[in-house]
């Protein structure tokens, strides 16, 4: 295409793959950067040889992953794909990426689609830094790609549909599940039931997982209001509090998660405006229905913008690509746009219902014990954060960061930032929005000291 813009897609999960394929079909040659070794992201990741002997796991469709990766490969001649390449900095018109070789390359861009996916959300509890505590997504990845479990007897703790899915998948693989502890209540799910019918297939999957656990005699505790993980050197047990009573379950691993946190660091560096979503307590980028940000030429799609699941992510990626093409003056299929927006609206309705059925445990997060580590990178406790408010008059998480180093570690607050804000809001008795958020800094992810910058004249 003569005079075609330089289009870069960051992320090769469902959203990035769908966006790149749609752009290639329109005659563009997008550049796709992804930190993984192949396209597909976490959801469509290739199953390793160690997992070949596993029985069919609920909610896991390796054939779909192979199909989507194969479709991407079909367009490889018209897509410039750079695997094992991590974007570490971005400005308007240029980005910098770290390759597996240790070289840092600079790439210009005219249009940018950010499809960076999401991370598991964690809530610090006593003992969560012990060896043997992993996220739900980490436990899933080990099982689905390597065919191994993170423990022989695993406790699952958190809330959200992934909690039950991960537990049921391990049960199906022959792993002993000690307990499923959910901070949500049954009445939350009942109240959200009408809107959960917006996605019958996912609702059926959730009910199937719950039935599997019940039939296997796995204890399922709902309405958990407190937890601590015990162990001397590694995990030995989890203690759950419910209705002022305590249950102790022996285990050698704990898988925990409270939903997803969008990876918005690149959008943050570009000064895309954010808004606080009150129900979840997540800061989300402001987008129009097509995925456009307020920054010209910058689009966002998938769980990195709104956690809606893999199917919705792929549709959002295609919709963002169509918006980009429309902004370039190309004619687009209005019927396809309407179809995508209608289906995405249904997914959004389902996501809102999930947020009501599995609300984030605000009290558990706000009342983290003083001695509990919140920022494990810098070993900052909840008590340190509260002292920063009481003794140093920290007004938001940015000031608390300066006083305590919370969020200055390698994850830049990805794991601790939301909990730190909740703690500050509670101790100051203000709305969560007033506690602010931790801003991203370059490099987005840690770089090796030996990283070598490619000379400008050799850069793409």
Average pLDDT, rounded, for the chain:
91
Q: Is the CATH number 1.10.10.1100 carried by domain 367-435?
A: yes
**pLDDT (0 to 100) of residue 460:** 45
**pLDDT (0 to 100) of residue 400:** 96
Task: Summarize pLDDT for 85-133 with one digit per residue, the tens.
Answer: 999 999 999 999 999 888 999 999 999 999 999 999 999 999 999 999 9
**pLDDT (0 to 100) of residue 72:** 76
**pLDDT (0 to 100) of residue 62:** 67
- Does position 174 have pLDDT exceeding 80, yes or no? yes
Per-domain boundaries in the chain: 7-119+261-332, 122-258, 367-435
Task: Summarize pLDDT for 284-329 with one digit per residue, the tens.
Answer: 999 999 999 999 999 999 999 999 998 999 999 999 999 999 999 9
**In the CATH scheme, what is the homologous superfamily, with its name and number, of domain 7-119+261-332?**
FAD/NAD(P)-binding domain (3.50.50.60)
Task: Summarize pLDDT for 214-254 with one digit per residue, the tens.
Answer: 999 999 999 999 999 999 999 999 999 998 899 999 999 99
Instruction: Confirm whether 7-119+261-332 and 122-258 share one CATH topology.
Output: yes
Strand 237-242 with 111-114, pairing: unpaired
Q: Which CATH class is domain 122-258?
A: alpha beta
**pLDDT (0 to 100) of residue 449:** 78
- Does position 452 have pLDDT exceeding 90, yes or no? no
**pLDDT band, residue 198 (cuts 50/70/90):** confident
């Amino acid at each position: 295409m003569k005079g075609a813009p330089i289009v870069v897609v960051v992320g090769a999960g469902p959203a990035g793959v769908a966006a790149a394929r749609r752009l290639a079909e329109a005659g563009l040659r997008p550049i796709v950067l992804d930190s993984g070794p192949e396209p597909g992201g976490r959801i469509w990741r290739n199953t390793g040889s160690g997992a070949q002997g596993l029985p069919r796991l609920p909610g896991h469709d390796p054939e779909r992953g192979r199909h989507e990766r194969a479709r991407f490969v079909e367009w490889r001649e018209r897509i410039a794909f750079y695997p094992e390449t991590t974007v570490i900095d971005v400005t308007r018109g240029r980005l910098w990426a770290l390759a597996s070789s240790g070289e840092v390359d600079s790439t210009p861009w005219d249009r940018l689609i950010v499809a960076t996916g999401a991370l598991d959300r964690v809530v610090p509890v006593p003992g969560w830094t012990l060896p043997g505590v992993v996220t739900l997504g980490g436990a899933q990845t080990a099982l689905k790609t390597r065919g191994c479990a993170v423990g022989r007897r695993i406790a699952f703790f958190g809330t959200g549909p992934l909690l039950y899915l991960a537990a049921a998948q391990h049960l199906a693989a022959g792993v002993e599940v000690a307990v499923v502890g959910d901070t949500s209540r049954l009445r939350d799910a009942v109240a959200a039931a009408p809107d959960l019918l917006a996605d019958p297939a996912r609702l059926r999957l959730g009910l199937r997982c719950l039935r599997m656990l019940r039939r296997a005699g796995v204890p399922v505790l709902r309405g958990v209001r407190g937890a601590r993980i015990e162990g001397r050197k590694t995990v030995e047990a989890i203690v759950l509090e419910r209705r002022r009573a305590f249950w102790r379950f022996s285990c050698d691993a704990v898988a925990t998660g409270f939903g997803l946190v969008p990876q918005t660091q690149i959008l943050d560096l570009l000064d895309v405006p954010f808004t606080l979503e009150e129900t979840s307590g997540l800061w989300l980028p402001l987008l129009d229905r097509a995925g456009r940000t307020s920054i010209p030429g910058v689009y966002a799609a998938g769980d990195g913008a709104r956690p809606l699941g893999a199917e919705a992510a792929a549709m959002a990626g295609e919709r963002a690509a169509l918006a980009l093409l429309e902004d370039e003056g190309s004619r687009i299929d209005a019927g396809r746009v309407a179809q995508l927006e209608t289906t995405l609206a249904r997914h959004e309705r389902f996501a809102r219902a999930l947020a009501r059925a599995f609300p984030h445990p605000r009290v558990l997060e706000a009342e983290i014990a003083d001695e509990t580590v919140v920022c494990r990178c810098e070993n900052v406790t909840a008590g340190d954060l509260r002292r920063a408010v009481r003794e140093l008059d920290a007004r938001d998480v940015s000031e608390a960061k300066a006083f305590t180093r919370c969020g200055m570690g390698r994850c830049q607050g990805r794991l601790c930032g939301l909990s730190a804000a909740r703690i500050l809001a509670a101790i100051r008795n203000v709305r969560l929005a007033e506690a602010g958020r931790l801003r991203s800094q370059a490099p987005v992810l840690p770089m090796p000291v030996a990283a070598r910058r490619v000379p400008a004249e050799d850069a793409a």
